[in-house]
Chains A and B, each alone.
Chain A
Amino acid sequence: MSSPAIELDGITKTYGRTTALDGLNLRVGRGELVGLLGPNGAGKTTAIKLVLGLVHPTRGSGRVLGAPLGDRAARARIGYLPELFRYQTWLRAREVLILHAELAGMAPGGRPSAADEALDRVGLTERAGDPVSGFSKGMQQRLGLGVALLGQPDLILLDEPTSALDPIGRTHVRAIVRAARDRGATVILNSHLLTEVERVCDRVVILHRGRTIAAGPLDEVVAADGVRLRVSNLDAAGNAALARFGPVSVDGEWHSIRPLDASRIPEVVAGIVAAGGRVHAVEPGPGSLEARFLELVTEPSEEIR
């Protein structure tokens, strides 16, 4: 059985007094398309940079494509689109790709065709001879995506790949990412756009304060049983009564309790009424990834893996 594409075991990364990763555990299997989620400062970009050896762990260890983190031979099989994507503005688009083909160790004869293939995949064939300095931010992001896909890498790390793209571009990126997964590549998609992740990813990993707080197939992470209720007249005692059933997140009059066994919903409603509250709506079942994400990152959470 082949080793996982990425294994991070108890990785801690500190920058002075700031802890970016706090004992992070992460495992991504070969051929998976994984969404890496988390609020700002959760440690997503640091985790990706660790895999590439761009930052070094303070504690803990890990492996990428069966080799130690940052291993040079492994890096030859990784494509990477950084969050802060910048390419040599004085080069032409095709030259950037040929340069990266050379840096990736591709044979000289194969570099032009690999560059042209990557340009075609990201829709930049017609701009291949244009200087990067004239590219819009969205086009530079497409070029960065082309660089990441160059030479059909085994592992593709995309840090916010659609941040500068219009809706058409995002649709295109979804198709590109799916195609990469279909040919057997492992793809990590780090994004704030939860709907993007929801549409393409098989699995999601949610980071918060440098730790994994949820990981698993999308439907499992989102489908934690629970209930969403619209409640009024709920005082502090009523809120305390609700908290007895499980972790509560509040958005205006809407209160979510998750995880919660569906059989306990009548009990919750009775509790609210007994506490003087009025129940206007009850929505049992799983929420959206966004709702689940908000619940997880706005409450103290135990690591679940």
Chain B
Amino acid sequence: MIVIARLTVRELVRRRVVWVLAGLTILSVALVAWGLDRLVSLARDDGTTELQIRIGVSQVLILIAFMFSFVLAMTAAFVGAPAIGGDLESGVALAILARPLRRVEVLLGRWLGSAAVVVAYTASSGLLAIAVATQISGYGPPDPFLAILFLSGQALVLLTLTLALGSVLPSIAAGAIAVVAFGLGWMAGVLAGVAAAFGVELLGRVAEVSRWIFPSDGLWRGVIYGLEPPLVLLLANGNAPRFADANPFYATTPPAIPFVAWSMIWIGLVLGVAGWWFERRDL
């Protein structure tokens, strides 16, 4: 398994995926820095108070994180889909799987190597953007590490689904399904909030179940919670928390521990089912 994980990281480095991600990180952080600097400068020139600026920056950061979560979903899909599926389609897998190793070892090794790269990208890019934003605006989110942790979790959910699908489906289909699932998961999260706000019980239940089936959106709430300033939470909780939760860019509470535990179990289960299927598949 470790051999395959190392091979995967080496592949992503040699095929310039890591360098492209590093380049994108620098570019995106530079754009964030420039944009925030302009916004903060204009606001200060306008006489906006520091408190207002900090709240504004916090919301911009959440929007940037949302964009970044989408980029991460795409990255996870592009890295995960061909990890097994591509090797099967090209024939590279035949020589590897004829060696004395279990197919599930190949699957887990591919997952581990891809996960290492995706998490490293998430952490470096995310923390760098937050550090730059803090330096420019003076506002630092309450728990950037928690936000990055949940952002990484979300990316791992996407990676797991894509890689698992790639072991039984053509890689292009696996990638497409995972991206659609990401979108649907986010929609389900929005609908769950709306249903809760307006008391639509059935819709709420369906949306809640789908959130557990694909825990991507639930983890996204953890990202927002880590970035949301306490003042905004205080105001939202004081007024109408039900309505605040209907907004996909607000989270008044962090994801519950059972949900976080379930997300980890979900990753294990999906890999387990994929491994079971992959072992029995004819190549």
* Chain B hits for A102, CB < 8 A: 3
Q: Which of B27-35, B95-103, B222-230 contacts A (4 or more CB under 8 A)?
A: B95-103
CA distance A15 to B281 in the complex (A): 11
Assess whether B11 is in contact with A103, with CB atoms less than 8 Å apart. Answer: no
Measured CB to CB, the closest approach of chain A to B63, in angstroms, equals 37
Complex CA distance for A73 and B92, rounded to whole angstroms: 21
A76 to B100 CA separation, bound complex (whole angstroms): 5
One of B90, B91, B101, B282 near A103 (C-beta < 8 A)? B101
Please state if B14 and A86 are interface contacts (CB–CB under 8 Å): no
Contact B94 A103 (CB under 8 A): no
Which of A47-55, A179-187, A279-287 has 4 or more CB atoms under 8 Å from chain B? A47-55
Q: How far is the CB of B76 from chain A (nearest CB, A)?
A: 21
Contact call B98/A80, Cβ cutoff below 8 A: yes
Q: Is the CB of B282 within 8 A of A147?
A: no
Q: Is B283 an interface residue (CB 8 A)?
A: yes
A contact residues around B99 at 8 Å (CB): 75-76, 100, 103-104
Considering the chains assembled together, what is the distance between the CA atoms of A104 and B95 in angstroms? 11
Q: How far is the CB of A82 from chain B (nearest CB, A)?
A: 4
Contact A75–B100 (Cβ < 8 Å): yes
Provide the A83-106 mask, 1 if CB < 8 A to any CB of B, else 0.
Answer: 011111011000000011011110
- Indicate whether A78 reaches chain B with its CB closer than 8 angstroms: yes
B11 nearest in chain A by CB position: A90
Q: Which chain B positions have C-beta within 8 A of A144?
A: 95
Chain B residues near A84: list those with CB within 8 A: 91, 94
For B, the interface residue count at a CB cutoff of 8 angstroms equals 20
Interface contact B282-A88, CB-CB below 8 Å: no
Residues of B contacting A91 with CB < 8 Å?
14
Nearest B residue to A78 via CB reads B98
Contact B91 A54 (CB under 8 A): no
Shortest CB distance B217–A (Å): 35
* Inter-subunit contact A72/B283 (CB<8 Å): no
B contact residues around A78 at 8 Å (CB): 98
| A132 shortest CB reach to chain B, Å | 10
Q: Nearest residue in B to A86 (C-beta to C-beta)?
A: B91
Number of A-B contacts (CB under 8 A): 63
Q: Is A230 an interface residue (CB 8 A)?
A: no
Q: Report yes or no: B102 in contact with A72, Cβ–Cβ below 8 A.
A: yes
- Residues of chain A contacted by B91 (CB below 8 angstroms): 82, 84-86
Within the assembled complex, what's the spacing in Å between the Cα atoms of A144 and B92? 11
Within B122-181, the residues touching A (CB, 8 Å) are: none
Q: Is the CB of A49 within 8 A of B95?
A: no
A56 at the interface (CB under 8 A from B): yes
Q: Is the CB of B90 within 8 A of A86?
A: yes
Bound: A262/B121 CA distance, A: 78
Contact call B282/A15, Cβ cutoff below 8 A: yes
Q: Could you tell me if B100 and A54 are in contact, using CB atoms closer than 8 angstroms? A: no
A72–B282 CB distance below 8 A: no
Report chain A residues within 8 Å CB of B280: 56
**B97 to A, closest residue via Cβ:** A54
CB <8 Å contact, B96 and A86 = no
- How far apart are A122's CB and chain B's nearest CB, in angstroms? 15
Contact A49 B100 (CB under 8 A): no
CA distance A99 to B100 in the complex (A): 13
Asked whether A87 lies within 8 Å of B92 as measured between CB atoms, the reply is: yes
Closest to A54 in B: B283
Q: How far is the CA of A102 from the CA of B101 in the complex (A)?
A: 11
Query: Is B7's beta carbon under 8 Å from chain A?
Result: yes
Distance to closest chain A CB from B158 (angstroms) = 24
Min CB gap B112→A, angstroms: 16
Shortest beta-carbon distance from B87 to chain A in Å? 9
| Chain B positions within 8 Å of A52 at CB level | 98
Nearest neighbor of A90 in chain B, beta-carbon distance: B14
- The smallest C-beta distance from B67 to any residue of chain A, in angstroms, reads 30
Residues of A within 8 A of B283 (CB): 49, 54-55
Contacts A86-B90, A102-B3: A56 and B95 contacting too (C-beta < 8 A)?
no
A100 CA to B101 CA, complexed, in Å: 11
Chain A positions within 8 Å of B94 at CB level = 54, 80, 82, 84, 86
Report the Cα distance A100→B96, complex, angstroms.
8
Q: List B contacts of A54 (CB < 8 A).
A: 94, 97-98, 282-283
Type the 1/0 row for B254-267, where 1 means its CB is closer than 8 Å to any CB of A.
00000000000000
- CB proximity to A under 8 Å, residues B58-114: 90-92, 94-102
Contacts of A88 in B (CB 8 A): 7, 11, 92
Q: Are B100 and A86 touching (Cβ within 8 A)? A: no
Partner of A147, one of B95, B97, B101: B95
Q: A72-B102, A73-B100, A105-B100 are in contact. Are A55 and B3 (CB under 8 A)?
A: no
**CB-defined A-B contacts under 8 Å, sample of 7:** A54-B282, A55-B282, A72-B100, A78-B98, A85-B95, A88-B11, A103-B3
A55-B282, A80-B94, A87-B95 known, 18 other contacts, Cβ within 8 Å: A49-B282, A49-B283, A52-B98, A55-B283, A72-B102, A82-B94, A82-B95, A82-B98, A85-B91, A85-B95, A86-B94, A86-B95, A87-B92, A90-B11, A100-B95, A103-B96, A104-B100, A144-B95
A interface residues with partner B (beta carbon < 8 Å): 15, 49, 52, 54-56, 72-73, 75-76, 78, 80, 82, 84-88, 90-91, 99-100, 102-105, 144, 147
- Across chains A and B, which 5 residue pairs bring their CB atoms closest together, nearest first? A84-B91, A103-B99, A86-B91, A76-B100, A55-B282
